[in-house]
Amino acid sequence: MSEKETKELAEELATFIKEHKGGDTVVIDVSQQAGWTDFFIISTVTSLAHLKGLTRDLWGFLSERGIGVLNRHKQVSKEGWELIDCGDIVIHLMSSELREFYNLEKLWHTAEHFKLK
């Protein structure tokens, strides 16, 4: 997949997450800082039930498009953070508390950030 196609897919995934009530969804281009992935998608979930439902829907969305998940497991994290590794795109679905604590956006502050409208 080309860099342009990967970026378009990241934006499509972020839009899907936002449409499923993921809060403050952002796409971060980490391709210049990380050798193991190109984009992070970070979004806030409102509850454990929301995390489970969004993860389930996202896995279906990825499967429909033939996108492999490298770390797929049967149970969604009860900690409030689900990391979905699709290779070139890594998705972080996080509770607001964990998102604030780990502050991945600040950690990757030199990377280009794309906020969804």
- pLDDT tens digits along 14-60: 999 999 999 999 999 999 998 899 999 999 999 999 999 999 999 99
CATH of residue 35's domain is 3.30.460.10
The percentage of residues in the chain with a pLDDT greater than 90, rounded to a whole number, is 75
Print burial letters for 69-83: b (CB count within 10 Å at least 16), e (below 16).
eeeeeeebbeebbbe
pLDDT score recorded for residue 42: 97
Query: pLDDT grade, residue 109 (50/70/90)?
Result: confident
- Residue recorded with tokens 């906020």: 115
Contact 116, 26 (CB under 8 A): yes
Query: How far, in Å, CA of 105 to CA of 50, rounded?
Result: 22
Give the residue numbers spanning the domain of 64. Answer: 3-115
Higher pLDDT, 2 or 45: 45
- State how many domains the chain has: 1
